[in-house]
Amino acid sequence: MPLESTPLTLCATSRLAQTLRRARPGEQAVWRTPQAMTPAQWLAALADDALLCGIDDLPQALDPVAERLLWEQVIAADLGDASPLFDLGGMAATAAEAHALCRVWGVLPTGEFLPDETRRFLAWQAAFLKRCAGHGWIDLAGLHQRLLGLIEAGQFALPASVHLAGFDRLTPFEERLCAALRARGVTVSGDEIGLSATVDRQAVQVFAGPDAEAECAAAVAWAEAALAANPAVRLGIVAPDLAGVRMALETRLDAAFHPDLLRPDAAEVPRCFNFSLGHPLADLPLVRTALDLLRLGGLRGKVEQARFSALLLAGGWSASVSEADGRARFDAAMRQGLHYFVSLQGVLRFAERLAAQDALACPQSMAALQAVAAVFAEAPRSARAGQWGALFRAALLAAAWPGERPLSSHDFQAHRAFGEVLDAFAGLDAVLGKLTLSEALRRFSALCRERVFQAETRGTPSIQVLGVLESAGLEFDALWVMGLNDDRWPPAPRPNPLLPAELQRQAGSAHASAAVELDFAHRVQARLLASAPAVTLSWSRADGNRLLRPSPLLSDQPPAVDLPGVAKTAEVPIDACEQLEDTQAPPVGDGEKVPGGSWILRAQAICPAWAFFQHRLGASALETPVEGLDAADRGTLVHAVLEHFWTRWQTQAAVQALAAPQLAAAIEGSVEAALAGFEANRRLPLPPRFRALEAARLQRLVERWLAVDLARSLPFEVVACEQRAELSIEGIRVRMTVDRIDRLEDGRRIIVDYKTGQRIDVANWAEDRITEPQLPIYAALVEAEIAGVVFAKVLLDKPAFSGVADAPELLPGVSGIGDHKQKIFDPARFPDWPSVLTHWRSALTAVAREIRAGEAGVRIADEAALAYCEVLPCLRLPEWRRWRAGAGDQG
Amino acid sequence: MTEKDLVGGVDRLTADARARERALAPASFIVEAPAGAGKTELLTQRTLSLLAQVRHPEEVLALTFTNKAATEMRDRILGSLERAGRGIVPPEPHKRLTFELARAVLARDAECGWQLLEHPGRLRITTLDALCANLARQLPFLSRFGGQPAVTDQADVHYAAAARQTLDMVEQDDADGAVVADALAFMANDAGRLERLILAMLEKRDQWLAYVAQIEDGSMREAVSAGFAALVERDLAAVAARLDGRLQYALMPLARFAAANAPEALGALADWEMTLQPTRDDLPRWQALAQLLIAPSSGTFRKSLTKNVGFPAGKPFAEQKAAMIALLDELATVSGLEALLAAVPGLPEPDLSDAEWSTVATFARLLRLAAGQLWLIFQTAGEVDFIEIAARASLALGEDEAPTDLAQALDYRIQHLLVDEFQDTSPNQVRLLEKLMRGWQPDDGRTVFVVGDPMQSIYRFRKAEVGQFLTIRQRGLGGLVLEHLRLYRNNRSFPAIVDWVNAAFPGIFPAQDAPATGAVSYAESAATRPAHAESRVQVHPVIAADADTGAQAEAARVLDLIRAARAAAPNERIAVLVRARSHLEALVAALRQAAGEIRFQAVEIEALGGRQHVEDLLSLYRALSHRADRVHWLAILRAPWCGLTLADLHALAADDRQATLWSLINDAARCAHLSPDGQVRLSHVRSVLGLAFAEQGRVPPRRWLEAAWRMLGGLETLSGPADLADIDAFFALMDRLTVGGELAADRLAERLGELYAPPDPQGEAVQLMTIHKSKGLEFETVILPGLHRETGGNESSLLLWDEFAGEDGHEHLLVAPMRAKGEAGGATAYDYLRRIEGERAAHETERLLYVAATRAIRCLHLVGIVAPDDKKENGLRLPASDTFLRLLWPGVAEPVFAAALAAGETLAAAAASSAPPRAALPLRRLRQPAIPAVLATPPGDRRPLGNPLAPDAPIGTLNLEASVGTLVHRCLELIVSQGLAAWPLAGLAAREAGWQRWLQAKGHDAEASAHGAREVLLALQATLASETGLWLLSAPAGGAEEAWSSVDAEGATVNHVIDRIFVADGVRWIIDYKTVRVPVDELPARAEGFRPQLARYARLFAGDPLPLKVAIFFPLQAQLIELNGSVY
Ligand code: SF4
């Protein structure tokens, strides 16, 4: 066939090819775009030609994804039951690499004494090839070999001349390709690759910095200076570990060159620098949302509630803007109302329930989610990738993905790329066969993770930040190569574990050995040194506490000097703050409702600001969903059981009269009633097994507690359970519930508060600020005739009473006022019971008066008392501590 | 020189020199190197001497404990090779040896062509963790790994997830669900607590996973009983050794008397007539006897006898009582007996009860389930923890019966193994080393060399087991006997320090080594430095009744010491070392008060989260991440960048608790009720956060937050460069934590809690750190405050495990379950194992003190607080056990404190006050909040335009019509380049199958592809059958599909791909192909639609002299439609 006149440049990287295609020869306005592509791209075009013209019956090439999938299937089939133990994807990638090494470098393991790993691999390889043959497929490297054969056989219209650009070394395959081209009469140039000519050492500078951070800072400062001197300069920054320093470099470059573009609305404004690294498509918010919608919308089973939260809080679907607040509110409700693990149906039902109460803040979004669920509800158990792809499209449409916000330029590109991946997914029909939904989703997500997304840039930015490989063939006015430490440069060899290391070493295949890597690094470094008239090299002395050494490749470069210090460009902060006294909120107005029961008095006593933020402004922490019951629920249940029990049995004598089995049955009845009530209240039936466990716990705990109650020497009658009281203290309305009121035979009453946690503080009852005010309020302000105020510690370990009473021995373990055993109420200050009540009355009134007056400053006696404070972030504790330590307590 | 200074007849320094020389011999050694002995130099020399003998440098494998140590050692070796290469002979003798050894290595290098200096990676100096990771990766199949997962040291999220998943199995209707239910029942259905316990067990699953199977099938039960029995009998033997036959016979009648009177408690002694044997059968009697003799409350011999122990009051019993008292007095003189007897009631019945065993079995199953869940989670996350890596490495190395061929697997043979810090290795690590050494024979030329210092073993929390060092010293490693060498030299400290340590520590450390309880006896050192006049060890007593006063006085004392040391020697380094971070709180506060005077570094001491500006930033992130998070929204409105007054907050939020604050902020009517100042402040926040929300998700979390913070004026709220450093550290953390573009606020908050404020770079001279952090470091002055402080205990485990090497050298596995809540009972195996753990911990405390003391080069200051106590003889309360002060008390600290007490240095207690302060925190806020100038300008039209998307825009571009068009294109292009001859009309149909495959590969299904291919066939047939087609495709002097470039107005390159361009009859034709299926009469209209595109092509040739014609060719219809009129 004739040769085509257009010359072809084969490039080492697609980046180089793109650069060459874009290069403008001189100042020409219009020119023929040069033909530049990587060998793989060119061979793919040839394969296409062959297919279209029917030259040879080429098998269909598996793209890398499809090839790996096939390897996975082969390996899984071999491992059988053991395969769940393996990371099959990783194993498949390793096997595919090994297979390519065999093809490209001619590494061919034979003989008897092969390592286990290699023997396994060979078996997989045989199976792989068999499957390929069965379906008319071939791996890429294999296809390339076939194409090479066709070229050698005189097929294809070839260009008259081929130039090789940017290659640091040629693989045996590439050498054979060059030879074949020459044999066909093609002029091949640029393949005599060796170490480049000597470089002017004058133009090379070597720096040693304390760490990578410092290297980045210096490189950015260097770029700043260079661009200031000549705005048209083309700079390169190359790092062997680009992914590792990317964040640091990007942040610094942005701060140096575009401090004004930190604004969120300037995120997509083109910068004067460009990174050769993209991001996985799946990491883009738009795509992440799409995948989450598919995963959760097609959910069968349960997942962590947090996954739904993330979806709700993310924009990008349904009423993403108009219901953003509503979605957040729904999430807050869900955290409170649903368990840690939730099902899709559970979430949807919860939304319906809220809607029924007219409390659903995001109806449109939930309808969309419902619609997605409906799409998947129709889905077959298993289907081909293409069918799933269609379903995914339908589901995303139902979800109104990508939401209400107009797409930005990057969003748009991401949307397009996502569509392409979805298209490509359908192309895997043949390899994947029939899939279940979760399989399909897993595969599809993996595709999105593998697809590298890089937003298009227009023109060529002044600063190119590149990895070592991507820099191939590029030229700069000045270049900085950083991170030249001996642990990365030369890179550590990583021979493929499935092939004998010895064979790979002999073949000199890529990454096979230290020698190969050193040779490679030598070539790259020589190429880099020649790619710009001025080159700076740098390395770090340490990485954290690891000591680093310079690369051995720096030994024939000028000796390293310390990095010039970079003046910290970041603005040194100027404190532009004022301080003013602001401890006074508006007094509680007549109409203002201050909810919170006795809790507000407690909060105010500990820290006035707590009471203000939590009770007057209604701040409460977002809940963290739990699986099963949280501590509060468990406490509520204990309360409920005891309430039910005593409401039924009333007196100690009545219970004492019960025989053991009767007592047990009585408790069982109360437990059942409590659980049923709880479930009705929450509209959330407890899972059966868990419910049984909880019943057993309650039974045991209550039995144990009743033993304490029944052992009391003074007979009693329970006259009230969960007694509500409402009163007004200094105009602050306090609503409260007293767990239980006992009446002794002489008519005196004891109020009892059940405690199911360990922490009990009675000592504060003698203080001026009462931090456990519930019982004192009741005793001092609600009912007369109270002779004792106690906590009942309903615990498996050491259940007991704790509190104070008018006289000793009213209750076991509770000391009386004025008693010599009394440790909390100093007999000197509190000679008798009325003195205690008087104290409580005045202390509580004082705190209530504070609330009413609007006192809301941060002042704290004991930080430990804030342990359960929900509004800590509003109290600014660190500032308080520092202020206290510095200014001292002016009070 | 006293006799003590002699070791085997020579003085310590000579013995040391001999040991060092011997250590270079080609044999296996275990070397004990106390603090400051220069063991790194020895390791370097040994490594060099081995390198000079091997064929490949890879044959020498040196393992260190930390990454840092590995890099340091590598640096030393490469450095010595470089120096040797330069040939400059060092003057110091010990360096000269290193130099000579390095020269020999270079010679070997040249001989074998290693090029070590070019390939420093060939030196195998690494950590055990890294070695494991390498093994697991190099053997993906044998390690059952498959992939090459990343290793994380922050696997706690995964543990937590696995624990939750396990608990969630409770409702499964199968055996697994029942296991979880049993476990929950055992924990009183406290799922939260069980979850935490599972999590804790997963963190150390390397210790138990191997046994789970044997527990489940019950085969281990007997072995465990035997293990406990052996332990119990060992303890009883110790008692029996002191309570000899004579004493026992003296006790018998009295014991029988007591038993008769108190049969319930002492019944076991009723017929005691033969001496008790240290066997499990006699355990009940031993326990009864201990009950008789020891008062349980104090653990001492009874001082009085009551009827409870069989000695009723009253005349008739006075005689026996007196005899017993006399005997008790005698027993009290038997050294050690009291403590040993006191422990006897705590000895467990060796057989676990059925209930206990079934608990063990339940938990074992539960943990296996949890481990299974963990593996699934690891797989999804694509990362594993170090435990997994180690386990996989061990798996890859194979079982003893079927070992993996290591040489083949690693591509080299390990000839020599060196292990540094050997005292810190865990049992599993030792097992791994043994696997590496499988098949090694004594004298086969392979050697192992382990170095360490059992006295410095302080990593129990990382599973280091010091007892192992002692055992291996005695028994060898992996079948090789190790020659024991001991170093004595201390090159670090001046004699005053070394001598003090030599004098004090023999009394602090136990007298005898005991591997099982981790007891290590003291080994002496000899100073090599000359005496120094200013060198000393000093105890600084603080005597105070209340803790606060004491803490303040202590901090003041430490501050004085620092000042004095700084003044005396400004260039020297000072370290303040403590057992736990929290012990430094008061001191750090005091140092900050002395602001600026003393610069210091608190190394990982101060939590970053405890800084207000950092907390504000976190609140901002939380508020931005969740609009319904009312607490954090209120917090950011109160933060300095906004600083709303309480009154304005009240006006804004008090009456609406449902709506989000963000919606309230955007409610203009509501905001009008705020003060004018408040309105200004709120509108500042509104504009900044509004902008942030508009772009939510388009910027990475860190930049999103940073932008909002900076625009709010966050920078202006800071009070100095140190604050800015904190902020940088916060953002750096965000960068690190962002995975896949996402960062949950909870996770950020959690990790923030573990992050410490960056140290002041100019504060190097004064360092505050924990003793663990100071390991391996040295300072001229070391101050050790908080001698009196204890460290908190840790939560109990579900199961306790222990391995115990019996006297016979047999390993026993011990396991015991925790007691269920609310169950009472006597001594349990669990408590017993806890006690052993407690003993080990106590011994480690001794070693921790040793490590701290030996950091000092010149001065060591010991500071502690003791409370006065009138009831005590010396007037001082005994320091709590498990404190340094208790260890130092006899002989070292007590005299100093007693003297201080005598001198009246007691601090009075300050008046306690629990009333809250009257003054409240003022509001700190920006005077005038505004967006900083640099960020004030919107990007305007520099921003690429948005792309409105039709609501039903298709996702993806796959479209059969377009694909067919492309395919027709490609074929036409091929026809032009290959010539018409290669595309005979008759042969077209044969190519249809290829086209169909082409379409399928694009993602079209089989049916669509067949249809498309047919369409292509039709188009090509039509074209090749038409004259226009033939003319078009065969015209000369032209190209098929030509790519052209031009520059646009902004100078950017634009690409144009022209389907067909040629010159015929002096006219340049530009033709575009369009494959559309429409009736012929509609074609002209269609063609018109493409005018702009063709015009663009035409403009490329605007300067061309040739006349130009542009046209659209429709292959399906074989119609060429020329576009007339001006095409530009
Ligand atoms: S159809 Fe494919 S997988 Fe099945 S036997 Fe044939 S080659 Fe193997």
For ligand 1, atom 4: residue with the closest CA = A131
Question: pLDDT of A707-728, one tens digit each?
Answer: 999 999 899 999 989 888 888 8
Q: Is the pLDDT of residue A253 over 90?
A: yes
Q: What is the ipTM of this complex?
A: 0.93
Strand ranges for B794-951 from DSSP E: 799-805, 811-817, 856-866, 906-907, 923-926
Q: Name the amino acid, one letter, at B568.
A: A
A406 lines ligand 1 (CB under 6 A): no
Question: pLDDT of B943-996, one tens digit each?
Answer: 665 566 665 667 777 788 889 999 999 999 888 888 888 888 888 888 998 899
pLDDT at residue A467, rounded to an integer = 92
pLDDT confidence tier of residue B6, bands split at 50, 70 and 90:
low
Q: Residue A779 gets which letter from DSSP?
A: I
- The pTM assigned to this predicted structure is 0.89
pLDDT at residue B909, rounded to an integer = 65
For residues A861-884, give the mean pLDDT.
89
Q: Strands B1067-1073 and B1108-1114: what pairing?
A: parallel
User: Chain centroid to CA A34: how far?
Assistant: 45
Chain B nearest CA to A30, separation (Å): 4
Cα end-to-end distance, chain A, whole Å: 100
Return the number of other C-beta atoms located less than 10 Å from residue A137's C-beta.
Answer: 21
Interface test with A, best of B552, B588, B646, B705 (most A CBs within 10 A): B646
A127 lines ligand 1 (CB under 6 A): no
For residues A84-112, give the mean pLDDT.
88
Interface test with B, best of A83, A118, A420, A617 (most B CBs within 10 A): A617
Q: At A593, which helix (H) or strand (E)?
A: none
pLDDT at residue A273, rounded to an integer = 93
pLDDT at residue A881, rounded to an integer = 85
How many residues can be counted in chain B?
Answer: 1128
**In whole angstroms, how far apart are CA A384 and each of A380, A431, B1098?**
10, 10, 47
Chain B hits for A545, CB-CB cut-off 8 Å, are 67-68
Inter-chain residue contact A265 with B72, CB threshold 8 Å: no
Return the number of other C-beta atoms located less than 10 Å from residue A402's C-beta.
Answer: 27
Nearest atom, ligand 1, residue A134 CA: 7
Rg (chain B; Cα; Å): 41
Distance CA B943, CA A270 (A): 8
Question: pLDDT of A271-311, one tens digit each?
Answer: 999 988 888 999 998 999 999 999 999 988 889 999 999 99
- Cis peptide bond upstream of A402, omega within 30: yes
Distance CA B771, CA B773 (A): 5
pLDDT confidence tier of residue A567, bands split at 50, 70 and 90:
low
Check residue B843 and give left, alpha or beta (phi > 0: left; psi -120 to 50: alpha): alpha
Smallest CA-to-CA distance from B54 within B394, B533, B446 is with B446
Distance A93 CA to ligand 1 centre (A): 21
Chain B hits for A402, CB-CB cut-off 8 Å, are 949
Q: Residue B480 gets which letter from DSSP?
A: B
For residues B145-155, give the mean pLDDT.
81
pLDDT at residue B945, rounded to an integer = 57
Question: pLDDT of B705-763, one tens digit each?
Answer: 999 999 999 999 998 888 888 999 999 999 988 877 788 999 999 889 888 888 777 78
For residues B101-118, give the mean pLDDT.
92
- pLDDT cut 90: percent of chain B above it: 38
Q: Is the pLDDT of residue A343 over 90?
A: yes
Q: Is the pLDDT of residue B916 over 70?
A: no
User: Chain centroid to CA B169: how far?
Assistant: 28
Chain A hits for B139, CB-CB cut-off 8 Å, are 117, 497
Question: What's the per-residue H, E or C state across B769-793?
Answer: EEHHHHCCCCEEEEEECCCCCCCCC
Buried b (16+ CB within 10 A) or exposed e, A14-31: ebbbebbbbeeeeeeebb
Nearest atom, ligand 1, residue A130 CA: 7
Distance CA B604, CA B758 (A): 8
Dihedral (C-alpha) B634, B638, B639, B642: value to the nearest 10 degrees?
Answer: 110
pLDDT at residue B668, rounded to an integer = 94
- Nearest CB to B943 within list A269, A616, A768: A269
Distance CA A484, CA A555 (A): 11
On average, the pLDDT of chain B sits at 87
- Nearest CB to A501 within list B411, B625, B994: B411
Whether A373 contacts A308, CB under 8 Å: no
Return the number of other C-beta atoms located less than 10 Å from residue B922's C-beta.
Answer: 17
Distance CA B623, CA B625 (A): 5
pLDDT at residue A889, rounded to an integer = 39
Distance CA B517, CA A44 (A): 70
Whether B785 contacts B860, CB under 8 Å: no
Whether A686 contacts A674, CB under 8 Å: no
Chain B nearest CA to A806, separation (Å): 26
Whether B853 contacts B496, CB under 8 Å: no
Smallest CA-to-CA distance from A500 within B130, B145, B146, B412 is with B412
Instruction: Give SS3 for A464.
Output: strand
For residues B354-368, give the mean pLDDT.
90
DSSP class per residue in B63-94: EESSHHHHHHHHHHHHHHHHHHHHT---SSHH
Q: Is the pLDDT of residue B586 over 80?
A: no
Sequence-ordered list of residues with C-beta below 8 angstroms from that of A111, at least 6 positions apart, any chain: none
pLDDT confidence tier of residue B9, bands split at 50, 70 and 90:
low
Alpha helix (H) ranges present in B415-513?
427-436, 466-475, 495-508
- pLDDT cut 70: percent of chain A above it: 96
Distance CA A874, CA B256 (A): 71
| Pairwise pLDDT comparison (A566 vs B479), residue with the higher score | B479
Q: Is the pLDDT of residue B1 over 50?
A: no
pLDDT at residue B160, rounded to an integer = 92
Q: Name the phi and psi angles at B451, rounded to 5.
A: -125, 145
Inter-chain residue contact A325 with B627, CB threshold 8 Å: yes
**In whole angstroms, how far apart are CA A774 and each of A577, A771, A792, B797?**
41, 9, 14, 37
For residues A640-665, give the mean pLDDT.
94
Q: Is the pLDDT of residue B3 over 50?
A: no
DSSP class per residue in B237-252: HHHHHHS-HHHHHHHH
- Nearest CB to B939 within list A31, A115, A263: A263
Q: Is the pLDDT of residue A759 over 90?
A: no
For ligand 1, atom 8: residue with the closest CA = A131
Return the number of other C-beta atoms located less than 10 Å from residue A673's C-beta.
Answer: 17
For residues B437-461, give the mean pLDDT.
90
Whether B383 contacts B151, CB under 8 Å: yes
Smallest CA-to-CA distance from B96 within B45, B172, B140, B131 is with B45
pLDDT at residue B967, rounded to an integer = 92
Q: Strands B447-452 and B29-32: what pairing?
A: parallel
Strand ranges for B748-904 from DSSP E: 766-770, 779-784, 799-805, 811-817, 856-866
- The token pair at B1103 is 């300067």
Q: At A97, which helix (H) or strand (E)?
A: helix A88-105
- The token pair at A557 is 């470069």
Return the number of other C-beta atoms located less than 10 Å from residue B192's C-beta.
Answer: 16
Distance CA B772, CA B456 (A): 10
For residues A118-137, give the mean pLDDT.
93
Q: Is the pLDDT of residue A150 over 90?
A: yes
Distance CA B686, CA A138 (A): 59
pLDDT confidence tier of residue A861, bands split at 50, 70 and 90:
confident
Whether B757 contacts B546, CB under 8 Å: no
Sequence-ordered list of residues with C-beta below 8 angstroms from that of B326, at least 6 positions apart, any chain: none
| Pairwise pLDDT comparison (A887 vs A170), residue with the higher score | A170
Question: How many CB pairs below 8 Å do chains A and B form together?
Answer: 527
pLDDT confidence tier of residue B423, bands split at 50, 70 and 90:
very high
Inter-chain residue contact A574 with B720, CB threshold 8 Å: no
Distance CA A573, CA B724 (A): 7
For residues A192-201, give the mean pLDDT.
58
A194 lines ligand 1 (CB under 6 A): no
Check residue B680 and give left, alpha or beta (phi > 0: left; psi -120 to 50: alpha): alpha
Q: Is the pLDDT of residue B912 over 60?
A: no
Question: pLDDT of A72-82, one tens digit each?
Answer: 999 999 988 87
Q: Strands A534-540 and A478-481: what pairing?
A: parallel
| Pairwise pLDDT comparison (B426 vs B918), residue with the higher score | B426
On average, the pLDDT of chain A sits at 89
Interface test with B, best of A9, A137, A262 (most B CBs within 10 A): A262
Inter-chain residue contact A607 with B71, CB threshold 8 Å: no
pLDDT confidence tier of residue B795, bands split at 50, 70 and 90:
low
Q: Is the pLDDT of residue A519 over 60?
A: yes
A135 lines ligand 1 (CB under 6 A): yes
Instruction: Give SS3 for B6.
Output: strand
Chain A hits for B916, CB-CB cut-off 8 Å, are 607, 769, 859-861
- Nearest CB to B956 within list A332, A423, A620: A423
Distance CA A146, CA B458 (A): 63
A131 lines ligand 1 (CB under 6 A): yes
pLDDT at residue B216, rounded to an integer = 83
Question: What's the per-residue H, E or C state across A117-179?
Answer: HHHHHHHHHHHHHHHHHHHCEECHHHHHHHHHHHHHCCCCCCECEEEEECCCCCCHHHHHHHH
pLDDT at residue B976, rounded to an integer = 85
Distance A81 CA to ligand 1 centre (A): 20
Chain A nearest CA to B501, separation (Å): 30
pLDDT confidence tier of residue B578, bands split at 50, 70 and 90:
very high
Question: What's the per-residue H, E or C state across A531-581?
Answer: CCCEEEEEEECEECCEECCECHHHCCCCCCEECCCCCCCCCCCCCCEEEEC
